[in-house]
Copies of this chain bind each other. A is one copy, B any other.
């Protein structure tokens, strides 16, 4: 019942119309693993610099996350500085300092190679593929990606998209990847590359999911107070993958219905992420909070 999560562990300085934080804990692996930890014990593979405080690692450990494969190396931790306007769907980058992440190229231990469930956060697709090939007979592998890889590593991205089961991707990014504005056509393009399931993240508008010839759509959980969207997409993917890992490990068979439920669990989990800066809120909820929002989403859409 382990979910392997590979991705960035970072410091983020973020400004939104509702406040700001400086050098707060962030990164795709952090958000995804906290979200997944409500369902399973995730194992994080990542790298931090010497300036990443020991207490942060302990915080993750306390949250049912296996941190033993987080390398601490000479140098500084990945740093992102950005801001959002009122339209929280669009992040504006001020500064990215890759730091120790530049040398990140994980070699998995024999133990990790036997893990069956893998989430490849939005790192360089060459690294994603490199990790993928190290896994022995995976059951479910998902990946995420971002603009810069679509622009600069298209060939490598296509290679990993050929083999993964699920792609999590933003609406604007899938349009860029497929060079197609219509989301249905863009998803078809990705499925033709080989990806079985395409989950398009639409921020405050929820998600739309393509599986075979089926389409599944959900609105986001409606919130009156949104402070910071950073990490929402990773929390969503972490929730989806956490629930799928839990269910499949417990003997449930993969089905369209299970996928739909997983997407709602992801939606419910991610809704907490945006209600405060950094991991402040999503770190401090309980499984029953997620269940409550899952049921509220059911009431929200039922007719």
- Judge whether A111 is part of the interface by a CB distance below 8 angstroms: no
Interface members, chain A 67-96 (any B CB < 8 Å): 86
Smallest CB separation, A50 vs chain B (Å): 41
Q: Are B223 and A257 in contact (CB under 8 A)?
A: no
Nearest CB in chain B to that of A303: its residue: B260
- Judge whether A219 is part of the interface by a CB distance below 8 angstroms: yes
Given known A-B contacts A184-B223, A184-B224, A219-B219, A303 and B205 have beta carbons under 8 A apart: no
- Judge whether A183 is part of the interface by a CB distance below 8 angstroms: yes
- Residues from chain B with a CB closer than 8 A to the CB of A218 are 219, 301, 303
Nearest CB in chain B to that of A298: its residue: B303
Smallest CB separation, A269 vs chain B (Å): 15
Q: Are A217 and B257 in contact (CB under 8 A)?
A: no
Query: Size range of the interface on A?
Result: 20 to 34
- Residues from chain B with a CB closer than 8 A to the CB of A254 are none
Contact among B182, B206, B257, B302 for A224, CB-based, below 8 A? B182
Smallest CB separation, A51 vs chain B (Å): 36
- Judge whether A222 is part of the interface by a CB distance below 8 angstroms: yes
Number of this chain's copies in the complex: 2
Q: Are B184 and A222 in contact (CB under 8 A)?
A: yes
- Residues from chain B with a CB closer than 8 A to the CB of A108 are none
Smallest CB separation, A42 vs chain B (Å): 23
Q: State A89–B181 Cα separation when bound (angstroms).
A: 13
Question: What mask results when residues 83 to 126 of chain A are scored 1 for a CB within 8 Å of chain B, else 0?
Answer: 00010000000000000000000000000000000000000000
- Residues from chain B with a CB closer than 8 A to the CB of A181 are 17, 86
Q: Are B260 and A302 in contact (CB under 8 A)?
A: yes
Contact among B17, B202, B222 for A217, CB-based, below 8 A? B222
Q: State A202–B204 Cα separation when bound (angstroms).
A: 11
Q: Are A216 and B300 in contact (CB under 8 A)?
A: yes
Per CB-CB distance, the 9 closest pairs between chain A and chain B, nearest first, are A260-B303, A217-B219, A205-B205, A184-B224, A86-B181, A301-B301, A217-B300, A264-B303, A261-B303
List 30 A-B pairs, Cβ < 8 Å. A17-B181, A182-B223, A182-B224, A182-B225, A182-B226, A183-B222, A184-B222, A184-B224, A185-B224, A202-B205, A205-B205, A205-B206, A206-B219, A208-B219, A208-B222, A215-B222, A215-B300, A216-B301, A216-B303, A217-B219, A217-B222, A217-B300, A217-B301, A218-B219, A218-B301, A218-B303, A219-B219, A257-B303, A260-B303, A264-B303
